[in-house]
Chain A
Amino acid sequence: MGQLSAQNIGVSFDGRQIIKDVSLHLNEGEIVSLLGVSGGGKTTIFNCLAGLLVPDTGKVFSDDTDITGKPGKISYMMQKDLLLPHYTVLDNACLGLLIKGKSKKESRAAAQPLFETFGLAGTEKKYPHQLSGGMRQRVALLRTYLASDGVALLDEPFSALDAITKHTMHTWYLQVMEKIRLSTLFVTHDTEEAVLLSDRVYILGGNPGTITDEIQVTLPGKKEDRDPSDPDFQSFVKLLQQKTAINIT
């Protein structure tokens, strides 16, 4: 498991076309960004991929299975952490497993060892309101990972955090991804974040929204070593800015 593809999906609401002919794919273990301006249809695409919304045209496949309009296959993490205040951190992490019918004991046993990996050791018995914003997003990612079958959609997961926390989270995120190999489609409107985290970047633009470009981020070395002040890094950021700017005018 770990592949996802969308073929020619299109959605319209009240006669207005929101997205049109969107095709994309995600290979196993890849981190791919979907870059575009706010209100460009990113969330609509994600809702289709997650099965929450049935597109008017096109299909969504997980590996070779048609999952169009079938939720529960692709894991989804939003900008808000959406941790449930009445559950402990451990039970919040287990939520997806519990919903899929696993017992409490089984789910907790599956989640427990990952707390170390996610830098959350010692928080298991706490409640979400006792954690900082950054820690809460870590729990949300752990919950997303546990609920997933190897593919996750991340909708601007770090955009609500302050600059310092965001920077720490990027480093943390790449370290965790190195260990868990989760295929991820990552929505962002931050070009630097896109270059920092992705293997590939899709540019979403136009009205109705569609994929206007695809860019392979071919920086040498490991992702963790990518340096935003490096000229090659900067040229990728510039390239992405140009590509998205064309779509605005």
Chain B
Amino acid sequence: MKKPQNIITKAAPVLSVAVIVCGWALIGETGLVPAYMLPSPSEVVKAFIEDFPLLMQHSAVTLQEAIYGLFGGTALAFVFAVLMDRFDFLYKALYPILILTQTVPTIAIAPLLVLWMGFSMAPKITLVVITTFFPITVSLLDGFRAVDRDAVNLLRSMGANRVQIFTKLKLPASAESFFSGLKVSASYAVVGAVISEWLGGFEGLGVYMTRVKKAYAFDKMFAVILLVSAVSLLLMAAVALLKRLSMPYKNKK
């Protein structure tokens, strides 16, 4: 038997989304906003179905850029976090630079990257790497630093070396923190890829977006916006799955 409280909590998000969609449909039907500016949900769905093969083709490219970038960002984050955790002077030297990379607007570096690297996938992946590695680095560093000093001493008293302390204690203890960083980065990754596609390229959801924008095709515009958030959600769900698989002990009651 489930408690009624539980059902209400589960139904709440479904309900709120339903209300928003209904309100949106109503605004279109009543003519409060002209249909060419705000297409109704049904028109958006129609546009989505019409362009489905094209959208899938573009999504595949965007998703590919996002995933490659995310892998690159994660790898870079590991290198940074491990070195910064091991050498205090590197922590002090690099931390301000890390912060600085986050204050530079993505929109501003994207065209530069295109100029340097051309219209291929490389500048897009690079931009995703730049936007995703920061949250992962910080969450990993926090994870490493939150490890109990006494636990480190316990392993040392058993004669453990640095590598053993890292693999047996620090790394697994940071998993929780790492995955929360990765989740944030996963959502950044898709958005980063789309933004970089706006500024130059031949394929991807961002390219599709700029094209339909020029054609004033609002229905297609809405369809692609929803698709971008769906792709983001998909990637975040993949991260959640990965977390569950790599931390089996969390699921045991």
Contacts and interface: CB of A to CB of B under 8 A. Distances in A.
Interface of A: 47, 50-52, 71-76, 78, 80, 82, 84-88, 95-96, 98-100, 126-127, 129-130, 147
Contacts of A82: 148, 150-151, 154
Interface string B148-163: 1011011111111000
A71 B169 contact: no
Interface of B: 148, 150-151, 153-160, 164, 168-169, 172-173, 175, 247, 249, 252-253
B159 A127 contact: no
A64 to B, nearest CB: 20
A72 B148 contact: no
A84 B158 contact: no
A127 B148 contact: no
Contacts of A52: 153, 156-157
A99 B158 contact: yes
Contacts of B159: 71-73, 99-100
Contact of A78 (B150, B160, B253): B150
A99 B158 CA distance: 7
Contacts of B158: 71-72, 75, 95-96, 99-100, 147
Contact of B157 (A72, A100, A126): A72
B166 to A, nearest CB: 12
A76 B157 contact: yes
Contact of A51 (B155, B157, B175): B157
Contacts of B249: 85-88, 127, 129
Contacts of B168: 84, 95, 98-99
A51 B151 CA distance: 15
Contacts of B154: 76, 78, 82
Nearest to B155: A99
B145 to A, nearest CB: 17
A50 B157 contact: yes
A78 B252 CA distance: 26
A71 B247 CA distance: 31
A4 B134 CA distance: 50
A177 B150 CA distance: 25
Nearest to A51: B157
